[in-house]
Chain A
Amino acid sequence: EPEVTQTPSHQVTQMGQEVILRCVPISNHLYFYWYRQILGQKVEFLVSFYNNEISEKSEIFDDQFSVERPDGSNFTLKIRSTKLEDSAMYFCASKGTGSYNSPLHFGNGTRLTVT
């Protein structure tokens, strides 16, 4: 079964550094999402992306965050200047168009640790 893959599985960075989290969605999917989950808390929506532009974003997704689909396969989340509170699991998800309401398919996440 096709999967959403995320790299790296674990990223450690210093406060103030830029990080790029990478995702390869399922190949025929057109809707892309980033979610995050702080340890012990619920899964929070960050941003959704369709047709090469952001569809929706949450209040968490401020100017420090950006997303990009640089080619036909990758979908990236960039944090320009990381803060301690950005430490979390970041999940990428994609969604197909075969049916009107196809479910989200999630990757296994990148654990970001900001020190």
Chain B
Amino acid sequence: LAKTTQPISMDSYEGQEVNITCSHNNIATNDYITWYQQFPSQGPRFIIQGYKTKVTNEVASLFIPADRKSSTLSLPRVSLSDTAVYYCLVGDGGAGSARQLTFGSGTQLTVLP
């Protein structure tokens, strides 16, 4: 299982762009990179997933360099409600089997007014 490393915490101000980087040096060829958001006392919520280059959806962008050993979650113009823990997960899910996806310690993002 690919291990991930993220900053423990980050602070930002409302309206700023936030970039959270995750390292996954031993990522395997079949592994995808998935980011989740978790609010207190709630289950993790899917944000975005990618394999290489750049992926964008309505809430975030995900940048993955060519070597795929890291990835960066970009949140444009954060608001107070984006205060949460953000997790980077790496795995292939496993077609035909339910292989585990392992959560790291995550990054506590605090958005300040």
The chain A residues found within 8 Å of chain B, CB to CB, are 4, 31-33, 35, 42-45, 48-50, 55-56, 58, 89, 91, 93, 95, 100-109, 111
Contact = CB atoms under 8 A, between A and B. Distances in A.
29 contacts: A4-B43, A31-B93, A31-B98, A33-B98, A43-B44, A43-B103, A45-B100, A48-B99, A48-B100, A50-B96, A50-B97, A50-B98, A55-B94, A55-B99, A56-B100, A58-B100, A89-B41, A91-B43, A91-B44, A101-B32, A101-B92, A101-B93, A104-B36, A104-B44, A104-B46, A105-B46, A106-B43, A106-B44, A111-B41
Given A43-B38, A101-B93, A56 B105 contact: no
Nearest to B89: A104
Interface residues of B, number: 27
Interface of B: 32, 34, 36, 38, 41-46, 49, 87, 92-106
Given A48-B100, A55-B98, A101-B49, A109 B41 contact: yes
